[in-house]
Structure 1
Amino acid sequence: MKIKILILVLAVISLSFACKQEQNQQNTDTNKKTVTMEKPSIHQFTVTAINGDEFRFSDLAGKKIMVVNTASKCGLTPQYEQLEAVYEKYKDKNFIIVGFPANNFMEQEPGTDTEIATFCKKNYGVTFPMMSKISVKGDDMHPVYRFLTQKSENGLEDNEVEWNFQKYLLNEKGQLEMVISPKTLPNDSKIIDWIEGK
């Protein structure tokens, strides 16, 4: 009788242990899925600022980011004014704008980095971070823009840079959330609501 009871107790313990192991495995699998589902981040990139310094996107963790391709001789160039105004208003509220001069559209950004920096400061008082001139489309597209335009890299959508001053909005984790048309002004309510978290 005692042997039967002992066997029964051992069977219950063994079954309980097996169930616990299975539950632990399920929890591990769930955690793995959570990690895998995390969207890619722009924080992986380090680029060159317009003054030649290294600029690490990882330093922007915790901030909302607007990435915008700029040009000095475009009909949309006056958007620099609104960009700077939005930056001034929200720069102390975990928001930053990062500008990338590009000469991809009708050669509307022909200048050197030094010339571009002087133009931006002199004409629009730009203080938000400006990067070294890059290409935002074509075979020589910069890796940051491959990330922004390809769903396989950004986890959100495939898109193309339509023109100068296209805006990419990324959340505090550096994940792409929204692509805004070049013609939409930087102070448009859609953008402001996003910055303010409405």
Structure 2
Amino acid sequence: MLRLLDLQKQLILTHLKAGDTAVDFTMGNGHDTEFLSKTVGEKGQVYAFDIQAAAVESTRENLKAALCPENYTLIHDSHHRVKEYVKGEIRAGMFNLGYLPGGDKSITTMRETTLPAIQAAVSMLGANSILSVAVYPGHEEGEAEGKLVCEYLSTLDRFRYSVAQIRIINSPTSPYFMAIETK
């Protein structure tokens, strides 16, 4: 069975190398943060954002248990404030929109902050960089969020960015992701 999140990580690996800077815009339980931390290694830097204190603590524990290098900064704040914390260009960024797995489903990423966060992320991408945005259209906000993100990404200059949408077309409520690569 095709696992889209595995494909998402494979695309990230075509750009992200040891020593790079990456951002997990929706840290959740820290699985993407762990992946980014191990990929950039001791000389790299990872920033991870979440508005829920439980997500930050869960991620901190998971990163220590996974023996990740201490190359990460966990930020208890909204991802749309990324430029207040991260200076300069990033090589990769990951968004997993929706709610915290195993958490309160009433707390979810919202269009009002997701779009500004993605706009900021796109503006921070250096040359030969990538941003991935996983969307979960199985709930009302997720579907609306996905449409809004798609509309925005379709306006990006095709001479500077390549934007792809990867989804299982015979399962309309299944998660999908978009990949934005700089040229």
TM normalised by structure 2 equals 0.28
Normalised to the residue count of structure 1, the TM-score between the two structures is 0.26
Higher relative contact order (CA 8 A, sep 6+): 1
Structure with greater Cα Rg: 1
Higher helix share: 1
Tell me which protein shows more strand as a share of its residues. 2
